[in-house]
Amino acid sequence: MWFPSERLARSGRENAINTWKSSMTMAWMVAIAACYGQEPVRVVVLDYSAAGRGKLETAAKIAQREFRLAGVQTDWHICLGTTAAQPNCGLPPGTYLQVKIVPGSEIRRSGDSMGTALCDLGKRGVLSFVFSSEVKRLAQSASRDFSVILASVMAHEVGHLLGVAHSPSGIMKEGLTARDATDAEKGHLNFSPEDAKALRAAARDMVVSATDGGH
Ligand SMILES: [Zn+2]
């Protein structure tokens, strides 16, 4: 037999459970937001080296995983280059960090041998380059997969664009060796904990500056 008070108590309990459930959902969402930022860091890979969409997509997935392991959500778009300086890729509106895959290393600056980020080390930038001939050379000499090494170099250059300088170990190490290529293929070449922390802070800043009206 149901008494009104009993029904009230029951609905009160259900309300309490529902409130608890939604507060747990909120707490989880806040935790995710704190971990990843609210918006992913958008990256566009512009290929001028005829590497092929398949290899680029594989590399982008691996690079995305490396950033995810560092607590940073990234969104990668592949854009097959043409002779035009800026091919129309039909990208959704937004700000994109750019990784241009070019065949040679003519624009190489001091430091990295397989790519370059157009920003002073420790400061942020928007445009970076990866030299596919150098990536291929290491892939062949180390007998490792081209896409895996490409992913490490892309992640490294995007790391620079987010303001992270060189590190003694991990993806932000200056120069990749055959041993690093082997580690990368095993999924063991990652951002160091210190670099991951800096990346998370940079990604959070990007989200704030993208949503605060540009102040
Ligand atoms: Zn570097």
CA of 29 to the centre of ligand 1 (A): 34
Reported as a single tens digit per residue, the pLDDT across 12-26 is 555 555 555 555 454
Reported as a single tens digit per residue, the pLDDT across 179-207 is 999 999 999 999 999 999 999 999 988 76
CA of 61 to the centre of ligand 1 (A): 20
- Ion ligand 1 — residues with CB < 5 Å: 112
| pLDDT score at 166 | 92
Q: Is 129 helix (H, G, I), strand (E, B) or coil?
A: strand
DSSP secondary structure letter of residue 73: -
**Helices then strands (H, E): number in the chain?**
6, 5
| pLDDT score at 30 | 44
Rounded average pLDDT over 47-70: 94
CA of 109 to the centre of ligand 1 (A): 10
Q: Report the predicted TM-score, pTM, of the whole model to 2 decimal places.
A: 0.77
CA of 59 to the centre of ligand 1 (A): 18
Reported as a single tens digit per residue, the pLDDT across 26-53 is 444 444 445 544 589 999 999 988 888 8
CA of 81 to the centre of ligand 1 (A): 24
Kindly tell me if the per-residue pLDDT of 101 is higher than 90.
yes
CA of 6 to the centre of ligand 1 (A): 68
Compute the distance between CA of residue 116 and CA of residue 154 in angstroms, rounded to an integer.
Answer: 10
| pLDDT score at 161 | 95
List Cβ neighbours of 213 (8 Å cut-off, separation of 6 or more). Answer: none
Reported as a single tens digit per residue, the pLDDT across 120-153 is 767 889 999 999 999 999 999 999 999 999 999 9
Asked if 91 and 37 count as a contact pair (C-beta separation under 8 A), the reply is no
CA of 79 to the centre of ligand 1 (A): 23
CA of 3 to the centre of ligand 1 (A): 72
Cα 10-16-18 angle, rounded to 5 deg: 105
Reported as a single tens digit per residue, the pLDDT across 76-97 is 999 886 555 555 677 888 889 9
